[in-house]
Chain A
Amino acid sequence: MGTILKIAWRNVLRNKRRTMITGVVMMAGIGLFIMADSMLKGMDRLTIDNMVAYTESFMKIRTPEYISNLQGTPLEHGVPDPEAVMRTAMASDDRIVATAPRTRFVANVSNYEDALPVIALAIDPARDEAVFRLSEAVVEGSWLDSAAPRSIVIGSGLAAEMGLTAGDYAMVSASTVYDNVNADEYLVAGIVFSPMPEINQGGLFMTYADADALLGTDGFVSEIVVASERMPSLGDLLDASSDAAARVSAALPGLRADPLTELAKDYLAMRAMKGKASYFIIMVVLLIAAVGIVNTILMSVYARIREIGVLKAYGMPPAEIRRLFTLEGVIVGALGSAAGVALGSFLVWLMATRGISISAMVGDVDMGGLPLSGTLYGEWNPATMAFGFAFGIVVAFVSARIPAKRAARLEVTDALRFA
């Protein structure tokens, strides 16, 4: 085996050009795969972070009845005694740093010309600020103030569509708890532009005082939102959320705390699909690399037919001849894969330290309703690197066997005739 390895290794080094070409293809493929994966993971992180910061929070505490009627945004099945619930939630997990009540209802916003349906949220401005980053997203006017009655904050897209600017008045109508319509005029105190398209296009926020007056409710709270400390990675965040939600649920009989895995379910499912797409990319690139390896080894076989003849004449069995050439392919593959991992690591390092500004990259293009904006940072993923490396070697092994078998099958007299 030692001599076989020696022959294979030295041949790889000897045919630098051939080795380089195949190695570079593999390097590019595996490097790009690692980068794409890191970018996708980074996008996940950014997307989930945005969801946490603007709509979903770390977890949501609601009643099971409310959850089963979620689509109808009912003004019933609310959280009973929200103050006590918030205290219990805070006490049941150290990672929870803030809580706030929210009430979701369907409303119509009208500028007296047109009316648009929106998902409105009644909030407690000060507490909400401790959970969400909406107040930082105000681009015009100011965030809600409990002391300023009859004002609303709306999304930038909605404002643009209705021709509303901060300081204008808008009519908001909604179904009340009595199942009739109430409507009133509100000052547009502020306009928010967030990474969440749903907020920009159809977000409306008002204080609990105003919402109670409009809806005929009396401090009705449909959900409790929760903030956590910052988690180092997406995996940690999702795990912490699930774990904390389980504890909070246990501490609050009759209520259900949904973790991010549930709140961001649709996104996470879609992400799984995207992940498959990146594996498809590596397949295609490595298929090209495989063709390269087959070719490299085939060329090696043809260039060394006489050598094969000598080995066979001296009695080397076909299996060992096959091993010799397979090994050569695997060495090329291992070099290419290692270079690919190195290249991938470098690209990931670049993305992880510098970040990519999404807005600079795609401008203000709507990312298909995805809450993707801000700066994208690459995520380190050792499992992907290990996979890329191993997969490169497997591909090299499988593709080198084809020409290696051919070498093993050569007739010794035919091989020697080249003499």
Chain B
Amino acid sequence: MKRSLIMACALWAAVYAWAQAPADAPSAAAILARIDSNESFKSIEYTGRMEIRIGEEFRIKTMRVQAIGADKAMVEFTNPEDAGTRMLKLDKDLWMYFPKEQDTVRISGHLLKEGMMGSDVSYEDALESDELSSTYSATVTGEAEIGGRRAFVVELKALTPKAKFDRRVMRVDAERFVVLSEDMYARSGRLLKTMEARKVERLGGRWYPTVFVLEDKLRKNTSTTMSLGSLVLDIDLDPGLFTRAALER
């Protein structure tokens, strides 16, 4: 019931946005749908490299990530200091396994919104598929040029208070429909986070940002550059991977 209401709203918003948009541009709803088809996934697998900058200092974390939708994820860190440390996320629960201590720690749900391993990338950012069409209404507010590419400026407003962000402003590649940069706002109106894609790659039939910079705006002078390697989307992953047994293997 709730879901269909949201869908109806989304549809209405899409129609409304289409009515407002410049003649040559696709509708805002269509843009969201194109982004979703590029960037949302049923499953994902990649080797990640986080370059965390705090002031003048840099820290590198590398990891291997496997995730299904928004609720199952397994991460294994591969950088020397954290080698063997594994993380299992099942919906809102998170466990971390420390190989040296052979100990598993359950991590409070609040942490899911915090930066992963001290970075600006939250667990949600790194591990969850982000479906836009069903959650936000959008309007195209203009155009911009980002790194030499033409982009639509799309403003997203949450249809539900449960949306990850209350408001998002995206610059979307006008040809490839990949988000090139984004500002994310809290319900209070505060800017929480920004994202900037540095590299967009073609994977099969879709475009996907494989290098991007995230900045947590509640902290000054920090940013994290995330690079995704050996990226594969929507493959079949063994559900047995996402178990406590696999975590402590």
Contacts and interface: CB of A to CB of B under 8 A. Distances in A.
Per the CB under 8 Å rule, do A and B touch in the complex? Answer: yes
Contacts of B192: 173, 181, 183
Interface in A279-305: none
Interface residues of A, number: 25
B163 A184 contact: no
B246 interface: no
Interface stretch (B14-22, B28-36, B45-53, B216-224): B216-224
Contacts of B110: 72-73, 106, 175
Contacts of A72: 108-110
A180 B218 contact: no
Interface in A342-364: none
Question: Which of A173, A175, A181, A213 has most B Cβ within 10 Å?
Answer: A181
Interface stretch (A37-45, A107-115, A153-161): A107-115
B161 interface: yes
A379 B36 CA distance: 70
Question: Chain B, interface size: which category?
Answer: 20 to 34
Nearest to B187: A182
A106 B160 CA distance: 23
Given A181-B113, A183-B190, A184-B190, A71 B108 contact: yes
Contact of B187 (A110, A115, A171, A216): A216
Interface string A204-224: 000000000110100000000
Contact of A115 (B162, B190, B219, B221): B219
Given A71-B108, A178-B162, A216-B161, A110 B219 contact: yes
B218 A112 contact: yes
Interface in B117-141: none
A106 B166 CA distance: 20
B188 A114 contact: no
Given A72-B108, A216-B187, A113 B218 contact: no
List the 3 closest A-B pairs by CB distance, nearest first.
A184-B188, A178-B161, A178-B162
Given A72-B110, A180-B165, 4 more contacts: A72-B108, A108-B114, A171-B218, A182-B166
Interface of B: 92, 108-110, 113-114, 160-166, 186-188, 190, 192, 218-221
Interface of A: 71-73, 106, 108, 110, 112-115, 171, 173, 175-176, 178-185, 213-214, 216
